[in-house]
């Protein structure tokens, strides 16, 4: 396994998570020493245009992951609808999400690989959502020395995902979306 000299930030969101996600992306500095990987629950068979939407908010390059993509700091990577993305040796791979598996655990799958790859350089962020995806991935990130940041449930349209993390894990921080981007910028500037 290759060593990472930059941070790996995974952001997982679902229902009600696009607003907070936009706030965080818009607040990230252009010189961020991290690769940002976004996994958003959505219909598997519908294009969501998330990469274009996020590109309008930042000068960082936003890349939709299709098949394989070598990651670099200062870039944002977005999982395509219906895809599971995993990281290994600086390469994100994308594959079809198993449609027979309910509920979908695409955030957990991504976060676990960030934890194994980045260890103490991994940061996972859980935003608004109506499911439990992200709990196991967050636990894995924490076990490997990374940070777990959760959107304050009081600010989430659908607080179940943030509440599930708080109830089943001991997140490093529970913050409003604007505070999350400020924390990330501050943490990585040290």
pLDDT, tens digit, 9 for 90 and up, residues 113-170: 999 999 999 999 999 998 889 999 999 999 999 999 999 999 999 999 999 999 988 8
Mean pLDDT of 18-25: 96
Q: Is residue 106 predicted with pLDDT exceeding 80?
A: yes
pLDDT, tens digit, 9 for 90 and up, residues 58-103: 999 999 998 899 999 999 999 887 788 999 999 999 988 766 655 5
DSSP state of 15: T
Domains of the chain (ranges, CATH numbers): 7-188 (3.40.50.180)
CB 43 within 8 A of CB 72: no
CA distance 128 to 57: 19
What are the structure tokens assigned to 51, written together? 């990469």
What does the pLDDT read at residue 100?
A: 60
Task: Select the more confidently predicted residue: 80 or 18.
Answer: 18
pTM above 0.85, yes or no: yes
Residue 31 CB-density burial (10 A; 0-12 exposed, 13-18 middle, 19+ buried): exposed
């Amino acid at each position: 396994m290759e060593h990472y000299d930059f941070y790996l930030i995974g952001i997982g969101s679902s229902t009600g998570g696009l607003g907070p996600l936009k706030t965080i992306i818009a607040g990230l500095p252009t010189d961020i020493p991290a690769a940002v990987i976004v996994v958003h629950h959505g219909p598997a068979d519908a294009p969501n245009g998330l990469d274009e939407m996020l590109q309008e908010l930042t000068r960082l390059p936003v890349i939709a992951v299709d098949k394989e993509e070598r990651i670099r700091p200062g870039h944002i990577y977005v999982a395509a609808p219906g895809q599971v993305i995993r990281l290994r040796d600086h390469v994100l791979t994308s594959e079809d999400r198993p449609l027979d598996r309910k509920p979908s655990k695409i955030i957990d799958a991504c976060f676990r690989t960030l934890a194994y790859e980045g260890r103490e350089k991994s940061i996972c962020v859980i935003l608004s959502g109506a499911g439990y995806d992200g709990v196991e991935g967050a636990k894995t990130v924490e076990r490997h020395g990374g940070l777990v940041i959760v959107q304050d449930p009081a600010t989430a349209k659908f607080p179940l995902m943030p509440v599930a993390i708080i109830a089943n894990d001991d997140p490093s921080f529970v913050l409003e979306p604007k505070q999350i981007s400020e924390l990330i910028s501050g943490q990585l500037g040290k």
